[in-house]
Structure formats: C-alpha cells, structure tokens
Amino acid sequence: MNKGKWLFFHGLVLLLVLGCSGEDDISLSDPEPQLTAIHVSETELVLPPGGSVSVSFTVNAPSYAFNYTVSSSDCQVRLMQAGGVVPVGFRLTEIIPGEVKGAYSATLTDTGTGAVYEQQVCLAIAERNPDTGAESLVSSSYFTVRSEKKYAELTLDTGLPVVYVETEDRKEVVSKTDYLPATLYIRGTEKYDDTQPLPCEVRGRGNTTWSWPKKPYLIRLETREPLLGMQKHKRWVLLANFMDRTLMRNLVSMKVSSMTSLAWTPSCVPVELVLNGKHRGSYLLIEQVRVDENRVAVAEMTPEDNAGDAVTGGYLLELDFHFDNQVQWIDPHGRNGQWGNGIPFAVKYPDPDDLTSQQEAYIKKYVSAAASVLYGENFKDPEKGYAAYLDVDSFIDYWIVFEVMGNHELGNPGSVFLHKDRGGKLVAGPCWDFDWGVLSYATSPQARTGLVNGKAIWYGRLFQDPAFKARVKARFEELLPQLETIPDYIDACEEMLEASARLNFAMWNPAEDASQNGGWIINGDERMSFTSAVARLKSIYRDRLRVIPENL
C-alpha cells in the first residue's frame, strides 16, 4: 500500500472510531458556551475625586464571547443599580481581558461632578435574542461603590442644592420631543435633604429659549417623588433663565403669586445643574403645570366623561400665540395685544390623545359662551353677565400678579393659563414663565406711568364694568402690605444667588439674546452686572406699586 492510501485508510478508521464512541468522547463540534454567572471579587470600592479603580470579574464560561469595548455602542456590559438605574457620580470606562481565559478587569471612574455617593451596583452582560430582539441580562452580585470625597471638600459649593442628571451613555439632550433615559440625584444643603439616585427621562423644552445656548430641560421621573421639599410628582422643569441677568424674575413672580388667592402657584428652588458631569450653571427647579391633586387640582377626566355633569370638567387651557398645540382655536372675542382681535386657546388637559370629540366641543362652546356674554349688552349683570362664567376673584388676582410684575405677555398671550373644574366656572391661573420682559421698561415702556395689561385679552372689557374696576382697586389695596415686603425678598434672593451668579455668568452671557432679536436685548439689563441688574429690578418693582393705584 502506498503512503497516500495508507494515510487515507487510517484517517477513515479514526473517524469511524470517533463517530461510534460514547457521549463522553470528543465530538466534531463543541457546543456553544452558555453564560449563566458573573463573579466579582471585590465587595467595596472607594473612588477618589476624578480618579479610577479596578474591579476584577470572571464569567462561568471562559470561552463565552461578548463585546466588552465600553466605547462601542454595541458593548454588552452594563454597570447598574437595582432596577437598571444608571449610577450617579461614576461610570464604567474600560474593560480589559486578564491573562486567564474568562477573567477580566473593569475600570470604574469618578465623573468629577463632586457628587457624594454610596451605591450598590452590579456588573451585567446583556444578550439579545436574534429572533425577537428581546434583551436578557446575566448579573453579578451587588458590591458597594462610594466616593472618597466628603461634603466639606466639594468644589461646587454656591450654597444652592446641586442637581445631577446623567443620561444613558452620556448622550447629549438634543430634542424637545424625544426623551433620553437618565438618572437624577440631588445633593441638598443644610435646608434640604439629599435625593438618592432616581431613574428618569430627560428632554429639552421651551420655544425661543430652546434655541439659546443655555438650554431648559424637562425631567420625567419613573415614580412620583418630592424634590427639595416640594410636593411629589413625576414631572419637573429646569428653567435656564438665560436672558435674566438677575436670575430671579421667575422666583420673585412666583413669590408674588403665592401671596394671592390663586388656587395653585408652582413651587420652585434655585439650583446648580450638573449634566453628564459638566456644570451647566444656575437653574430654577420648578413644578411643571399639570393637572394633579398636588398641582392644578381639577377633576381628572376619562374618555367616558362625555355627557351630563361629567363632561363639564376638568380642563386646563393655555392661551399661547405660538399656536403649536394639537387642539387649538381662535376665539374672535377679546384683544390679543399687538396681534389684533382674537385670542388663541389650546386644550392642555385632557391630553390630545385622550380628549374626546364631545369634550372638545363642550369646552370650546363654554369659552365661546363666556366671551359672547362678556362682550354682550348685559355683561355687567351680576347673575347673567360674565360673572356667571368667570371666577372673578381669580381673574382679579391673576391680573394683579401680571401687572405688578409688568409682564406684557397677558396681552400677547403666551403661557397664560385658565382651568375649569367639574361643574365650575373658568378660573384664571396658574402663573408661569415670568422671565421675558418682566419688570423692564425695555419691553413695556408704558409701565413707567401707566398700566401694562389694562386692555389685555378680556380685561379691556372687564375694566369697562365699574364694579370690576372697584374690586381690583380694593383687592390691590388689600394685598399691598404683603407686596411691599418683596424688596426685602429680592435682597434675600440676591444674597442667596450671588455665588451662583458669579459662576453662571462666567459661562453664559445674557447679552447674547440680542443676536436672537435683531440686536435688541429683551429685559434691558443683560449687559449690566448682577448687582446692578438686581438694583434695577427692585427699583422698577417699587415704581409698579406706586403707578398701579394711580391708574386704577
């Protein structure tokens, strides 16, 4: 037998032997390794500020292949808390294989935000089903990661609470419609408790303000939570106050509103914002305008509430010249400032997806009826006139807040709200968004000697009723002792915000808003120092308390 035939024969015999061997013998193809466990060697890690530490781990199947390149969008390794929450203050930055197959070293790095943390985390490897796309996780046991830095050592310390928002994979927030998964953590001050890391979603918000370099944001928590002493809810807003050199126009306005009998005024707290490890400046954390027992407390409707008393409420309406809502219309009655006759209404609650045709028809008809009576011949009649449709006390207090603050947007309506409870009348409020042109002669030169909103929306007609005008005058006089305390409140806000303002204006220049408005700055103090802008704000406020009663 020649050599070639001999090799072929012995090879064939070997194959036959292997094919007939028992189940413990060598097979032609190894089965796919199955990942069922991850083992972490450490139980506690301490991270220095801006520093890194390593944690060793092994997988039960040494031959199991997975993408451990952290910078890759397809990386299968996750660092997370219970429930899939992304840790705050540190992140996974690198994984390298060890000398032994199936052994790895993961690097955890402090993000440099100054956050103080002590969190239980685990390492997990994600597997995706190629048929269904569903993702499953194999996780390690939990281990503790805590910061080395203590509160006294924090570098970002302006006296304000610090809000840390960390998006998944540190993606930039670039959309006003698409949420990004994120985690929120708040480091309080002596006045507020810390808020432990909370799962949430974040997106941009605002109209013109979203186009500016310092962005406002909307936070949607996974569960209802009380933040910084405010009532619990899922939705919160971070107002940037970019063009406000005083950083307190919204803060002062909400304080004035809270002095009135308006049903609800958003609570708010000045904070520092750290987004994805970067300090973004001084912000105002404020309750979003929503229908809820802790906010606009009207009856919550269902799609079945289409007749009888049920269809009468509750509703939340916004008057907004941007006209960018799904359910909106122009009522021809009233004055829309520089835009002429007609007022833009929009339904904010029920949500457009839940609003039925019967509910939409009802609220439009009610608004139209109220306006028709207001502009009708017998509008002064206390029983059959406008008072049958409007909660007059709320309309008076709402007007006083706008007038005292010199907010012209009541006449050019934007962020002007009304609401209606089941079986009730139209109620004015809540107040919202007072950073644009407030307490400024630049936007409202008439405020030097007269009223700003004497002819705004329906008020031009309401003031034609001497009884209404007398009630406004009496109510203003009643509120005046409280209103006269606001200059002291402004002084307190200046002291509270001084350190924050110094950092904020080192990053942002409010005068840049001129580039958005044809060279015209909005509030008129954008090129001033913080101290000078606050002094101007206080001076104009005092002028308003003098000028308003002279014109009533």
341 contacts 332 by C-beta, under 8 angstroms: yes
- Name residue 216's beta-bridge partners: none
Tally Cβ neighbours within 10 Å of residue 280.
20
326 contacts 350 by C-beta, under 8 angstroms: no
pLDDT tens sequence across 112-145: 766 667 788 999 999 877 777 778 899 999 999 9
The predicted model gives 341-352 an average pLDDT of: 93
More confident residue, 423 or 518: 423
Would you state the pLDDT for residue 13? 38
CB pairs under 8 A, 24+ apart, for 108-111?
A: 108/45, 108/47, 108/52, 108/53, 108/54, 108/55, 108/79, 108/145, 109/47, 109/50, 109/51, 109/52, 110/47, 110/48, 110/49, 110/50, 110/51, 110/52, 110/147, 111/166, 111/277
Instruction: Mention every residue, 6+ apart, whose C-beta is less than 8 A from residue 197.
Output: 81, 85, 86, 87, 88, 117, 119, 183, 184, 185
From CA 483, how far away is CA 90, in angstroms rounded? Answer: 46
Closest of 347, 324, 344, 337 to residue 409, by C-alpha: 337
Would you state the pLDDT for residue 115? 64
- Percent above pLDDT 70 for the chain: 91
pLDDT band, very low/low/confident/very high, at 336 (cuts 50, 70, 90):
low
Token representation of residue 75: 């990386």
3-state secondary structure of 262: coil
- Name residue 182's beta-bridge partners: 167, 200
- Picking from 70-74, 224-228, 357-361, which range would have the lowest pLDDT averaged per residue? 70-74
From CA 412, how far away is CA 416, in angstroms rounded? Answer: 9
Would you state the pLDDT for residue 87? 84
- What domains appear along the chain, each with residue ranges and CATH number? 38-151 (2.60.40), 162-287 (no CATH), 308-550 (no CATH)
pLDDT band, very low/low/confident/very high, at 21 (cuts 50, 70, 90):
very low
pLDDT band, very low/low/confident/very high, at 252 (cuts 50, 70, 90):
very high
Phi (first) and psi of residue 371, to 5 degrees: -65, -40
Judge whether residue 381 has pLDDT over 60: yes
Which amino acid appears at position 36 of this protein?
T
Mean of the per-residue pLDDT values of the chain: 89
Helices and strands (H, E) in the chain, number of each type: 8, 21
**Measured at the alpha carbon of residue 265, what is the angle toward residues 314 and 165, in degrees to the nearest 5?**
100
Instruction: Mention every residue, 6+ apart, whose C-beta is less than 8 A from residue 295.
Output: 231, 233, 264, 266, 287, 288, 289, 430
Would you state the pLDDT for residue 468? 98
Residue burial 92-125, b: 16+ Cβ < 10 Å; e: rest: beebeeeeeebebebebebbbbbbbbebebbbbb
Judge whether residue 514 has pLDDT over 80: no
| Residue keyed to tokens 């007749």 | 307
3-state secondary structure of 322: coil
3-state secondary structure of 416: strand
Beta strand 268-275 with 162-167 is parallel
Cis previous bond, 430, omega within 30 = yes
- Percent above pLDDT 90 for the chain: 72
- Picking from 285-294, 399-408, 436-445, which range would have the lowest pLDDT averaged per residue? 436-445
Would you state the pLDDT for residue 4? 43
The predicted model gives 53-75 an average pLDDT of: 93
